[in-house]
Amino acid sequence: MFRKMLIANRGEIACRVIRTARRMGIGTVAVYSEADRDARHVSLADESVCIGPPPSHESYLAADKILAACRQKGVEAVHPGYGFLSENEAFARRIEEEGLVFIGPKHCSIAAMGDKIAARKLAEKARVTTIPGWNDVIESPGQAVKIANDIGYPVMIKASAGGGGKGLRVAWNDRETVDGFSSCRSEARNSFGDDRVFIEKFIEEPRHIEIQVLGDSHGNCVYLWERECSIQRRHQKLIEEAPSPFISEATRTAMGEQAVALAKAVRYQSAGTVEFVVARDEGFYFLEMNTRLQVEHPVTECITGLDLVEQMIRVAAGEKLGFKQSDIPRKGWALECRINAEDPFRNFLPSTGRLVKYRPPEQTMEASLPMPEGGGVRVDTGVYEGGEIPMYYDSMIAKLVVHGTDRNDAIRRMREALNAFVIRGVSSNIAFQAALLAHPGFVSGQFNTGFIAEHYPQGFSAALVPHDEPDFLLALAGAAHRWMRERAARITGQLPGHEMQIGEEFVAVLTDAQGQRTQTAIRVAPGNGSYAVTVNGRTRHLRFTAPLRDIRVTGEIDGEPFTAQIERVGLHYRIIHNGAQIDARVLSKRAAELEAMMPFKAPPDLSKFLLSPMPGLLADVSVQPGQKVLAGERLAVIEAMKMENVLVAQQDGVVARVAANKGESLAVDQVILEFE
């Protein structure tokens, strides 16, 4: 076994690998960019090496610097994590040439599966079912149209070297084929330096289901069941689960056996994933093979009880797999939600900055420890409270993983875990994840890869997070206010005869963006450590089991446990539960009457300003003072978290001044331009 290994990655996956390595008694070396000097993975590792400036191509993608760090620290092996250089055949080969061990597949296996055209041909040779299509390079739009007509619309145009949704278009007619062919070639050339594209049949209402495989250097290969990854937004996975609620045992076995056949065809020696697209009739077709550890690997670990990182290390060290296919269990149900630093209410724009508060739910299971009986909660993360979310890398804050006895139990556990996840300082997609988990289509298991586009065609808004019991949120606000009043009444030094009086009758006031007020009478009566809270004629008994000094609050209502977030923001109580949020002012009846007479202060008119919609780097300003612009014309470009956001004029106008300079780091809502 290795004595020391280097992790050529950052963030949560670097922390994840370090945990297993530590349990196995292997020393660890972290690499970091200048932006990650204070990152969590650096403090967790035994040693660390700075490998360059913040941009990825000068640090985490700089193979020469990583190899120099290996020599400097005398490591024996390198774990690449996922992303960055994890599927780079040249990097894996150079590691091997240095006399080190690449903890992943051999470079020849990466090369065989990295080219999608070659991978399709290899899959067909291994008798793996593939989507009808054209496996050779297409040279012209005319040829693309002819092939599309031969296959039959709709078709998918894909870059051979593509990934992450880049270089991919769906065409429903000849014109879309011509446009898609040109767009894919251009995007592939810019993203991967390879403009080859191919065409295959587009499967309508497809599901994305993948098989986890594991092979060793002794010819053994097994599959570790499947993962359902159909809940995606713009080809990026959001929720993953294992097993799939859709396929039958026969389909599961057939997919697993084909995945193993493909892995054996390329002499695969590590953990890898064979991805399939599955049609409504459970017909399945090979999509691609990911020759690395997947982001969503924890759900497989939950249902099998295996540590995939440990298995990768043991295989890389030359050990045989310690189990056969028939030995692999499938217990319970696991779900994973990717918690990202993005604002779902601003079209999912990246959100960077300091984590003012970061309180994940209590963990009851960990990657490198045995699975607890009956399930639990796991958080894989690379951040900490007070740390920074930098603009240079992906937006992931954490992976929230739950394991339950069945699918309904796992969904219930995940909703509770999301309720308990406190993040302040940056925006997160927790509200969107909560809405997805509550959607009837998701709960029933009736969904496909078009689920989000179908149910959220206009994007996401607070109105799309309905609460099962709106009065419960008001009850929490009323009880919290009564608790606060009781605490204030205990303050010493009050003037005799003028002590604070605590009433039981209150009014909860909600005000929308247009100033429309909604008043609801609430009665809160204390007794025996709980409150009898009456809202809209219904009385419920509510008890807090955690102090309200923390944002995360636990309690019981009518004997049923709950977890919610209660925060005092100015004169409001901000209540968050199951993704829904209210800002309620809780007043006495007289105070509510007087408050209703106060004029509504409308937000300022910002139509004459171009504001930065997200924190990021101002990569370009396309206009100058005095210049006339037309609606739709490009004004500026902001870069953040591998994403380029082009800002365009919403109406005709004349630029009065440019308030920010190219290369400047912008805060959210910072003024970039002002119009006359």
The DSSP secondary-structure symbol of 363 reads P
Give me 591's structure tokens.
């105070």
Order of all β-strands in the sheet with 166-171: 133-134, 197-201, 155-163, 166-171
CA–CA gap between residue 5 and residue 75 (Å, rounded): 5
Phi and psi at 499, nearest 5°, equal -65, 155
Report helix angle 11-23 to 308-316, nearest 10.
Answer: 70
Q: DSSP 3-state assignment of 40?
A: helix
Could you tell me which of 367, 577, 403 has the C-alpha nearest to residue 474?
Answer: 577
CA–CA gap between residue 383 and residue 271 (Å, rounded): 26
Helices (H) and strands (E) in the chain, counts: 17, 39
Distance linking the first and last C-alpha atoms of the chain: 69
Q: Do the Cβ atoms of 12 and 298 come closer than 8 Å? A: no
Q: Do the Cβ atoms of 45 and 72 come closer than 8 Å? A: no
The DSSP secondary-structure symbol of 319 reads P
645 contacts: CB under 8 Å, gap ≥ 6: 349, 613, 614, 616, 637, 638, 639
Decide the pairing of beta strands 333-340 and 47-50.
unpaired
CA–CA gap between residue 480 and residue 531 (Å, rounded): 10
| Residue 241 is among the residues annotated as catalytic for this protein | no
CB atoms closer than 10 angstroms to residue 127:
11
Residue linked to tokens 């990569």: 619
CA–CA gap between residue 271 and residue 293 (Å, rounded): 6
Residue 538, CA distances (Å) to 3, 475, 483, 509 in order:
65, 10, 20, 18
Q: Do the Cβ atoms of 531 and 543 come closer than 8 Å? A: yes
Q: DSSP for 585-625?
A: EEE-HHHHHHHTTSPP-PPP--TTEEE-SSSEEEEEE---T
Give me 467's structure tokens.
């609460």
The DSSP secondary-structure symbol of 405 reads S
CB atoms closer than 10 angstroms to residue 34:
15
CA–CA gap between residue 191 and residue 195 (Å, rounded): 9
Q: Do the Cβ atoms of 224 and 306 come closer than 8 Å? A: yes
The single-letter code of the amino acid at 411 is I
Could you tell me which of 231, 382, 385 has the C-alpha nearest to residue 299?
Answer: 231
Give me 45's structure tokens.
């590792």
The residue from 89, 176, 240, 288 that is catalytic is: 288
**How many residues in the chain?**
676
CA–CA gap between residue 570 and residue 586 (Å, rounded): 12
Cα dihedral sign for 658, 663, 665, 669?
Answer: positive
Tell me the catalytic residues. 288
